Chain A
Amino acid sequence: MTKETKDSAGKMNVASDKDSAGRPRSLDKSVQSAIGARLRAYYDEVAREAVPDRFVELLKQLEKKDSGGEGRS
């Protein structure tokens, strides 16, 4: 559903950046999905990596401490 507004000359203006209530219109869908795709690619670069050893070690240490072992702090 397209929101249409009229400019001062009374012409229909489909690409206005405010809707008829004066609220900012959301980005064009194609722009939104282009941004989203880049963001997810950026995010996934990190999220796809294998879990570094330091975290595996950390959880081992935390578990050891819990069970009263000699975990180094």
Chain B
Amino acid sequence: MQVSDEFRDGLIEAIPSLRAFAFSLIGRPDRADDLVQETLTKAWAHHHSFTPGTKLRAWLYTILRNEFYSQMRKKGREVEDVDGAYSRNLAVHPEQQGHVDMGDMNRALNTLPADQREALILVAASGFSYEEAAEICEVAVGTIKSRVNRARKRLAEVMGVEGEAEYGPDATAEAAIAHTALHK
């Protein structure tokens, strides 16, 4: 059964978004693009298992995510420490225009556990709903909400973005955890 034009066009349209997601997971542009390549190849091979009219982008994200974790397991690596904390810190996307410090953001994202990082990116950057993110990550909606919440809090501390709700007995503990994560 041939791949439809619609499906192929959908893949092309999703590439920029997939690259952004892959980069947020991996922190290295070259390896992120490799992951996208694997994802597109798999998606093409499994096009028959995609139901036309349903959400292609979410389906592709699921493939990419599964591929990412499967590769991490094969390499026997802690997902939190993808390629070592320092290589993520230094990775800069080739065409950055200086509107945001990618290094800063990479470092900040690297202080998050993988499940919080991906939940946050899916909801706050990729534009998925909590329900869609829950499907992609195969967890309950409540779990996603809680991960996003914790991720935002950690990022706020690490990036020094202040807010009234953040002062309290937990702030010191969280800062200590973030500090430890940075120096693992």
Residues of A at the B interface (CB closer than 8 Å) are: 14-17, 24-28, 30-32, 34-36, 38-49, 51-52, 54-55, 58-59, 62-63, 66-67
Contact = CB atoms under 8 A, between A and B. Distances in A.
Contacts of A49: 16, 19, 93, 95
A62 B162 contact: no
A47 B156 CA distance: 23
B8 A38 contact: no
A45 to B, nearest CB: 5
Contacts of B90: none
A35 to B, nearest CB: 5
Main secondary structure of the interface of B (DSSP, over half): helix
Interface of B: 2-3, 8, 11-12, 15-17, 19-20, 23-24, 29, 33, 36-37, 40-41, 44, 93, 95-97, 99-100, 102, 105, 120-121, 124-126, 149, 152-153, 155-156, 159, 161-168, 170
Contacts, number: 116
Main secondary structure of the interface of A (DSSP, over half): helix
B156 A27 contact: yes
Contacts of A51: 12, 15-16
27 contacts: A17-B166, A25-B165, A27-B149, A28-B164, A28-B166, A31-B162, A31-B163, A34-B161, A35-B155, A35-B159, A38-B159, A39-B124, A39-B125, A42-B100, A42-B102, A42-B105, A45-B93, A45-B99, A45-B100, A46-B19, A47-B17, A51-B16, A55-B15, A55-B36, A55-B37, A59-B8, A63-B3
Contacts of B156: 27, 31, 35
Contact of B96 (A16, A34, A35, A45): A45
A16 B163 CA distance: 12
A43 to B, nearest CB: 4
A72 to B, nearest CB: 13
Given A43-B20, A59-B8, 14 more contacts: A16-B168, A28-B163, A31-B152, A42-B24, A43-B121, A44-B20, A45-B20, A45-B93, A45-B96, A45-B97, A45-B102, A46-B19, A51-B16, A55-B37
